[in-house]
Amino acid sequence: MKACFSKKSLISTMLCCAVLLTLMVCPWNPCSAENIAAEPSEDTTDDNMIRVTADRLVTDTQSQNAEFIGNVHAIRGTMTIFCDSLKIFYTGEPAQGTQEQLGTESIQRIVADGNVNIHFDNQTATTLRAEWSTKDQTIVLSGPNSKIVSGKNSISGSKITLHQGDNRIQVEGGNEGRVEAQFYSNEQGMPLKP
């Protein structure tokens, strides 16, 4: 049997492989999410880069997505994510040229599923599903008992929407229960900083 590839298909496949190989540089650390150091290493603080490690990777250049499956560990900027699966949706035409010019797609959406644990800005979030939208600048945590903890303070509900553009949080209850929040204050009555 003879395989037949178009030039565009071959370039797309090479581009996807190059980008994904670049993303998988970070070694897997099997320690629990609670034991992660608060400060990321110097080479992971770029918000334009995401590093992902997992047991398996499935890519679909036609649908423009890549799914990391099993023991997923991802780092983007100061955010660290642990989950069962992570699917990255991207757009853009593959660049034609040298290896340095490849990787010009844009990440549009990232979906983390199963036992999601996120560390960011001295906060920890736990949920069943988390979805980031770069266009809307939102992170939506969904599932029973989704929770964000900052120091001693916490907030939980079945759906938590973080609006990154204007630093708002919207929390909704559901069939699983009502919204719950715990806030602690110092002697002056002001909330404790995280």
Strand partners, 80: 75, 119
Rg of the chain taking only CA atoms, in angstroms: 19
Phi-psi domain of 16 (left: phi exceeds 0; alpha: psi -120 through 50; beta: other): alpha
Give the sign of the dihedral formed by CA 107, CA 109, CA 115, CA 118.
positive
pLDDT (tens digit, 9 = 90+) per residue, 69-87? 999 999 988 989 999 999 9
Residue with tokens 């959406």: 109
CB-based contact 120:79 (threshold 8 Å): yes
Other beta carbons less than 10 A from residue 157's beta carbon: 25
**Mean pLDDT split into 10-residue runs, the chain, 194 residues:** 40 36 32 37 61 96 95 93 96 52 68 96 95 93 95 95 92 90 77 54
Q: Provide the 3-class DSSP secondary structure of residue 33.
A: helix
pLDDT (tens digit, 9 = 90+) per residue, 31-58? 333 333 334 444 545 666 889 999 999 9
Question: In angstroms, rounded to a whole number, what is the distance separating the alpha carbons of residues 157 and 160?
Answer: 7
Q: Which fold has domain 45-182?
A: lipopolysaccharide transport protein A fold (2.60.450)
Q: Provide the 3-class DSSP secondary structure of residue 88.
A: strand
Lookup: tokens for 97: 């040229």
H or E segment to which residue 20 belongs = helix 7-23
Provide the residue ranges of all domains of the chain, joining segments of one domain with +. Answer: 45-182
Lookup: tokens for 3: 């395989």
